[in-house]
Chains A and B, each alone.
Chain A
Amino acid sequence: MFSNNDKISIRQLQILLILTLFTSVSLTLPRITSEFADQNGWILIIGAAILTMIYSYIITTLGKMFPDQTIVEYSQKILTKPIGIIISSLLIAKLVLFGSLELRVFGELVKQTLLKNTPIEFIMITMLFTVVYLTRKGYEARARLGELIIFLGLIPIILVLIFALQDIELDRLAPFFTIKAKDFIAGSYYISIAMVGIESLYIAIPFLRNPKKVTKAVIHTVLFVAALNLMINFITIGLFGSAEAAREIWPVMAIMQVIELPGSFIARQDALMMSFWILTTFALINCYIFFITILTSRLIKSKEANWINLVIIPIVYGISLIPNNVPHTFEMMKKAIQTFGFAFVLPVPVVLLVVAKIRKLGVKDETNQN
């Protein structure tokens, strides 16, 4: 049963999804919502959650029709082979770009708060090497490490935030429901595609032991992450007010300086928060690199995937050094999200699904969604 079959269970997939969806936005989320809708930003999160649930439903339905194939294979089957190769290459390019930018953002944060004099290249390289060490061990190892990280990293964050709930001042969240429809749609749309991680479902489904229940599990996960983000948003804007939250680059980090844990002797917790952040960001960057490796190895049909890791390191590292400064990095991320973010969450899977249904490809899903 424990032979090296590299299969993971649904619960492990849920844990990995929580880690990636949560980490990709939550540090900067209050700032983004304040920029769109001031103190009503929390409504945007609900909207983004609904959109994400729609995306995940489509992608998992598509994936369940081809339970043993990743997007590389079934896109080549549904549309013709060249178009399939183009789609897969575009997905790989998108993952490379997002992974490098995420690495750069993380490195900037570590440099600002923890290690002021260390060159950022060193910080990024050490993280990249550790990530590659994990990718060589396979999907099952990654899932197990995810279980450990969520226990070590995410649960303390949630506990600390629960203590912060008592300090919220309600007036900073008022007036309620004065949001304009235009802001609502634009904000929800942006946040839903900034929450990267849904694309991992393209590749994860063949690695599951029993892929039948995956849709319901993913929807539960999205709801959970949305609830967490709501809590963070309430706490940040409740403590700071939307003007100050829009001014801070990483508002969640600033909260940590202000929260007073009862009975705690640690005066400033922001370095403590960074510890948890390092763990969860590690899981996120590992997600990117791992999927790049798997997709590339399936695309060029090589058996041994480990040398791809070594090739990826300089590429990702090089791209992450491109932005000149912190604002430029965030601008590049914003532009990248707005240009490439949407393509793979909605249009591509819808097209693939429709064409597959028309051509009657794939396995029919006979079981109920229970």
Chain B
Amino acid sequence: MKSFNELHNKETNKIELDLVKNLDKNIKIFEDFFNNCDDVIKKKFQIGEINSVWGYISYIDSMVNRDVVEDSILEQMIEEIKNVPKNISEDTNLFEFVKNYAIATADVKEINTFDEACLAVLSGDTVLFIDGFDKALKIATKGWPNRGVQEPDTEGVVRGSKEGFSEALRINTVLVRRRIRDTKLKVRQEQVGTRSRTDIAIMYIEDLARKEVLKEIDVRLHSFSIDAIYESGMLEELMEKEWLSPFPKAQVTQRPDKVASALLEGRVAIVVDNTPFVLLFPTTINCFFQSSEDYYQGFLFASFIRVLRYASAVMAVGLPGLYIALTCFHTSMIPSELVYSIAAARQGVPFPTIIEVLIIELEFEFLREAAVRLPGSIGSTISIVGGLVIGQAAVSANLVSPLVIVIVAITAIASFSIPNYTLANAYRIIKFWIILGAGTLGLYGFWLSILVVLIHLVALKSVNFPYLMPFVADDVNGGQDLKDSFFRLPIIYYRTRPIFAKKSERRRFKLNHK
């Protein structure tokens, strides 16, 4: 017999061994695998009183729902079956008997290999071996400690549901199921990671999602093999082709209503166990500026907020660069009084403008990072202290001019109003590139660096969908997608689905004629 190290397949880490009929042999191999794992509970017991058979049950402590194990399995098996019926002559009947009559839960499966048995125990299920059979039973008893359904902390809304995803895969899929009660909503589960065996669920609506997109996602999921993934972010990075780009190519959300509406547009959601962040493929840059609250508030106000978001996105990227370009190179574009104020305020400042801007920008980045690390209340205090006091002190000490502080503060606030965190991070990086460009060649360099960013964006694809979709190539969908970008029009105008859905299944709204 091979040592159990060699039993694991080198590539996939799967155990290649089947169960045998002798219970003691099964037990020995099983306990060899879980050698030195003291949290695995094992019990050998007798089934039946008169014609008894030995059974063996195993689970991991605190990963199971103890009530199910004790009431539905053990109590049934030990207490209720006092007698194994006399007309049991073949072996299979006993197994079937146990499986059909002795266990009081519905989620019971037969397993044949040690790999499935070990995986079941490691996932929080209970396995039941019976002497004389080379099959075992896997009973679903998952019940580990969980945070429950709480409010999502990165995507808050004023009006709307305050449920957010949790770390358990099943809770997440349930939250989405509650919003779409359609049989065509499919949940396909797979496992990623050779050692972590993390469950992921691919959710889509069968007649809306495009087949090419599903196929592409499958191809990409199976194009790598990795030890473990801990979070959907690792999965996102492994699945994308252009990893050099700072722009996120999948939308990440914590809100079930967002996932539900994305699924109904024809997109595909990937839920990963152990993380409340769900991936949505494919995505365009427009999706990052839509927040679920837009659709629950009135359309005029929502349009105003949308336009504000786009404007703040532009400012978050371009404002420091524009400031440098205008004040150092082309002062003619600034009105006269402002020019005199800026020049007067800069008397005595030791650094050139570009160094000033970089110093304050980096200081703000440090503050933001520090505020994330510190617990709740201290974090917000530190950011206020840092922002106000240090900024004020720097101005008084004549290290920087006050206008730079204003500009950098406006930039930081503008980048906070972008609904998607990853996109805001991308903007923080691009901002430095534009500062460099503007500092070298003034307004000419500013526009050239923006052109380079635009060229990069224009060729970017997310699962083969052009990234800048509603703003370019719009006539592919007849100009429909542009209706939901800058303004949020009343729902009556959204009669067709966006470009993500199949061509034939476009209509989603119709007014009933009286």
Task: Note whether A and B contact each other (Cβ less than 8 A).
Answer: yes
**Residue in A9, A143, A151, A275 whose CB lies within 8 Å of B447:** A275
B194 to chain A, nearest CB (A): 32
For A264, the closest partner residue in chain B by CB is B335
Asked if B451 and A271 sit within 8 Å, CB to CB, the answer is: no
Contacting A at CB under 8 A, from B135-182, are none
Asked if B330 and A145 sit within 8 Å, CB to CB, the answer is: no
A354 to chain B, nearest CB (A): 36
Question: Does A203 reach chain B (CB closer than 8 Å)?
Answer: no
Residues on the B chain within 8 Å of A367, using CB: none
For B452, the closest partner residue in chain A by CB is A130
Contact A138 to B472, CB < 8 A, known contacts A126-B441, A144-B466: no
Asked if A114 and B333 sit within 8 Å, CB to CB, the answer is: no
Question: Does B461 reach chain A (CB closer than 8 Å)?
Answer: yes
Contacting B at CB under 8 A, from A127-170, are 127, 130, 133-134, 137-138, 141, 143-145, 147-148, 151
Contacting B at CB under 8 A, from A245-272, are 265-272
Contact A279 to B447, CB < 8 A, known contacts A114-B442, A123-B441: yes
Asked if B447 and A137 sit within 8 Å, CB to CB, the answer is: no
Residues on the B chain within 8 Å of A275, using CB: 443, 447
Contact A115 to B472, CB < 8 A, known contacts A137-B455, A137-B458, A145-B454: no
Question: Does B473 reach chain A (CB closer than 8 Å)?
Answer: yes
Asked if B447 and A147 sit within 8 Å, CB to CB, the answer is: no
Residues on the A chain within 8 Å of B334, using CB: 266
For A283, the closest partner residue in chain B by CB is B451
Question: Does A278 reach chain B (CB closer than 8 Å)?
Answer: yes
Question: Does A189 reach chain B (CB closer than 8 Å)?
Answer: no
Contacting B at CB under 8 A, from A1-41, are 1-3, 9, 11-12
Q: How far is the CA of A151 from the CA of B482 in the complex (A)?
A: 14
Residues on the B chain within 8 Å of A9, using CB: 473, 475-476
Asked if B472 and A114 sit within 8 Å, CB to CB, the answer is: no
Asked if A148 and B441 sit within 8 Å, CB to CB, the answer is: no
Question: Does B459 reach chain A (CB closer than 8 Å)?
Answer: yes
Interface of A is mostly: helix
Q: How far is the CA of A282 from the CA of B441 in the complex (A)?
A: 16
Asked if B471 and A133 sit within 8 Å, CB to CB, the answer is: no
Question: Does A237 reach chain B (CB closer than 8 Å)?
Answer: no
Asked if A147 and B472 sit within 8 Å, CB to CB, the answer is: yes
B371 to chain A, nearest CB (A): 35
**Residue in B333, B335, B471 whose CB lies within 8 Å of A147:** B471
Interface of B is mostly: helix
Contact A2 to B448, CB < 8 A, known contacts A133-B455, A266-B335: no
For A126, the closest partner residue in chain B by CB is B448
Contacting A at CB under 8 A, from B322-343, are 329-330, 332-336
Question: Does B22 reach chain A (CB closer than 8 Å)?
Answer: no
Residues on the B chain within 8 Å of A267, using CB: 332-333, 335-336
Question: Does A308 reach chain B (CB closer than 8 Å)?
Answer: no
Q: How far is the CA of A115 from the CA of B466 in the complex (A)?
A: 36
Q: How far is the CA of A137 from the CA of B452 in the complex (A)?
A: 12
For B282, the closest partner residue in chain A by CB is A2
Contact A148 to B465, CB < 8 A, known contacts A114-B444, A115-B329, A126-B448: no
Asked if B476 and A1 sit within 8 Å, CB to CB, the answer is: yes
Proximity string of chain B (212-240) to chain A, C-beta cutoff 8 Å, 1 when within and 0 when not = 00000000000000000000000000000
Q: How far is the CA of A249 from the CA of B65 in the complex (A)?
A: 85
Q: How far is the CA of A134 from the CA of B445 in the complex (A)?
A: 17
Proximity string of chain B (42-71) to chain A, C-beta cutoff 8 Å, 1 when within and 0 when not = 000000000000000000000000000000
Contact A274 to B454, CB < 8 A, known contacts A2-B466, A268-B333: no
Question: Does B118 reach chain A (CB closer than 8 Å)?
Answer: no
For A2, the closest partner residue in chain B by CB is B464
Contact A137 to B459, CB < 8 A, known contacts A126-B441, A144-B468, A282-B451: yes
**Residue in B332, B448, B458 whose CB lies within 8 Å of A141:** B458
Asked if B442 and A268 sit within 8 Å, CB to CB, the answer is: no
Asked if A268 and B444 sit within 8 Å, CB to CB, the answer is: no
Q: How far is the CA of A134 from the CA of B336 in the complex (A)?
A: 39
Asked if A127 and B448 sit within 8 Å, CB to CB, the answer is: yes
Write the residues of chain B forming the contact surface with A, with a CB cutoff of 8 angstroms: 329-330, 332-336, 441-445, 447-448, 451-452, 454-455, 458-459, 461, 464-466, 468, 471-473, 475-476
28 intermolecular pairs with C-beta atoms under 8 Å apart: A1-B476, A2-B461, A2-B466, A3-B464, A9-B473, A9-B475, A12-B473, A115-B441, A115-B442, A122-B441, A126-B441, A126-B448, A127-B448, A137-B458, A144-B466, A144-B472, A144-B473, A145-B472, A147-B473, A148-B454, A148-B468, A265-B335, A266-B334, A267-B333, A274-B444, A278-B448, A279-B447, A282-B451
The 5 tightest CB contacts between A and B, nearest first, are: A144-B472, A137-B459, A141-B459, A144-B458, A147-B472
